[in-house]
């Protein structure tokens, strides 16, 4: 981490604040500054999450950061790349933590000036809660952190070392492949949780159902508390992939409904068996590669 003596976090909320705290826990002793809005940087400074507020961008000056970490909502990341990239010093590394990658990487390629390096990233960690108030140093512990291939190999290695230093496991992929995969494992669960929670308002006896709701329902709907402000940009920038995955889910549920209507429990049994195999395989992949962390 020694090559990055000055780090600026753009959008110092849950992810950006947690990145700062994780860096400090890992022993980083350089400058960490926040930028973006007025409330979040102020709270981050008051809470000791960062030790400075970056003012160069608003002054029209060149930012002296060695690493710029973009952790704003996707729309904010794209806007920053389009309007502030020319203020990043030559030789700096820029990375993002956005939940979709194709559009972000396209805009970065169009906007980032020569001599500034960009590596798209996405930490598979977070919460339905937002804001720097919820930032914590262990958010990335044993989490998968996706980086995009391409660009300067030395810079990729440097960023990979930082990510591993804060406790995460790095995997490399392409933006389009990332967006297809994340539509299934992140975006679809969010929409399912929101739909299931909203269904509560449409059924009869919802008062009784609310009183009876226990850990199963609460576990399934935890994500329903997520902010539309964040998810609007995610859906807009990954609409085709999300729609495709929704179609697959609808077909699966319709098949199950048809089987239950016909009192065919074999289909339900097969669904449980397929799900059990999928979960077993996922657990094997999930913990592979963490042996040395």
Q: What is the pLDDT of residues 88-134, one digit of tens each?
A: 999 999 999 999 999 999 999 999 999 999 999 999 998 777 899 99
Give residue 153's pLDDT band: very low, low, confident or very high (50, 70, 90): confident
Residue 200, pLDDT above cutoff 90: no
Which pLDDT does position 119 carry in this prediction? Answer: 97
Name, in order, each residue with C-beta under 8 angstroms of 121's C-beta and a sequence gap of 6 or more.
Answer: 95, 96, 97, 145, 146, 147, 148, 159, 163
More confident: 281 or 56: 56
Report yes or no on 66 lying in a domain: yes
Q: What SS3 state is found at 89?
A: coil
Which pLDDT does position 159 carry in this prediction? Answer: 96
What are the structure tokens assigned to 189, written together?
A: 């669960």
Helix (H) or strand (E) holding 7: strand 6-10
Residues 98 and 227 reside in one and the same domain: no
Give residue 149's pLDDT band: very low, low, confident or very high (50, 70, 90): very high
Residue 291, pLDDT above cutoff 50: no
Q: What is the mean pLDDT of residues 160-185?
A: 97
Residue 70, pLDDT above cutoff 50: yes
Which pLDDT does position 59 carry in this prediction? Answer: 97
Tell me the pTM: 0.89
Residue 286, pLDDT above cutoff 70: no
CA 162 to the chain's CA centroid: 17
Percentage of the residues of the chain whose pLDDT score is greater than 70: 96
CATH at residue 230: 1.10.3660.10
Report yes or no on 1 lying in a domain: no
Closest CA to 236 of 128, 79, 99, 119: 99
Q: 173, 199, 215 — which closes off a domain?
A: 173
Give residue 40's pLDDT band: very low, low, confident or very high (50, 70, 90): very high
Residue 72: count other Cβ atoms within 10 Å of its Cβ: 26
Report yes or no on 151 lying in a domain: yes
Q: What SS3 state is found at 5?
A: coil
As a whole number, the mean pLDDT across the chain is: 92
Which pLDDT does position 61 carry in this prediction? Answer: 97
More confident: 213 or 165: 165
Residues 134 and 158 reside in one and the same domain: yes
User: What is the 8-class DSSP label of residue 112?
Assistant: S
Give residue 293's pLDDT band: very low, low, confident or very high (50, 70, 90): very low
Q: What residue numbers bound the domain in which 280 lies? A: 178-287
Report yes or no on 78 lying in a domain: yes
Report yes or no on 97 lying in a domain: yes
User: In this structure, are residues 107 and 184 in contact, taking their beta carbons and an 8 Å threshold?
Assistant: no
Residues 159 and 97 reside in one and the same domain: yes
Which pLDDT does position 1 carry in this prediction? Answer: 65
User: In this structure, are residues 16 and 81 in contact, taking their beta carbons and an 8 Å threshold?
Assistant: no
- Domain count for the chain, please give it: 2
CATH at residue 95: 3.40.50.720
């Amino acid at each position: 981490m020694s090559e990055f003596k000055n780090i600026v976090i753009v959008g110092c909320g849950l992810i950006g604040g947690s990145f700062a705290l994780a860096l400090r826990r890992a022993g980083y002793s350089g400058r960490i500054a926040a930028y973006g809005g007025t409330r979040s940087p102020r709270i981050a400074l008051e809470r000791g999450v960062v030790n400075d507020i970056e003012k160069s961008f608003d002054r029209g000056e060149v930012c002296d950061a060695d690493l710029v970490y973009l952790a704003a909502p996707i729309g904010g990341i794209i806007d920053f790349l389009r309007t502030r990239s020319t203020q990043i010093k030559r030789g700096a590394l820029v990375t993002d933590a956005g939940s979709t990658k194709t559009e972000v990487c396209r805009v970065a390629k169009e906007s980032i000036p020569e001599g500034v390096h960009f590596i798209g990233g996405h930490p598979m960690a977070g919460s339905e809660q937002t804001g720097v108030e919820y930032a914590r140093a262990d958010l990335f512990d044993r989490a998968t952190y996706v980086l995009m291939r391409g660009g300067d190999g030395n810079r990729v290695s440097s960023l990979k070392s930082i990510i591993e230093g804060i406790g995460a496991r790095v995997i490399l992929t392409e933006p389009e492949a990332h967006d297809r995969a994340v539509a299934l494992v992140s975006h679809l669960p969010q929409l399912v949780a929101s739909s299931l929670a909203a269904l509560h308002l449409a059924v009869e006896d919802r008062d009784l159902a609310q009183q009876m709701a226990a850990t199963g329902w609460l576990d399934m709907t935890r994500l329903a508390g997520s902010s539309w402000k964040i998810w609007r940009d995610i859906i807009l920038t990954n609409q085709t992939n999300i729609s495709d995955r929704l179609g697959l889910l609808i077909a699966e549920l319709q098949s199950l409904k048809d089987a239950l209507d016909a009192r065919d429990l074999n289909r339900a049994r097969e669904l449980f068996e397929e799900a059990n195999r999928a979960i077993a395989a996922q657990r094997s992949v999930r913990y592979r590669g963490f042996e040395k962390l």
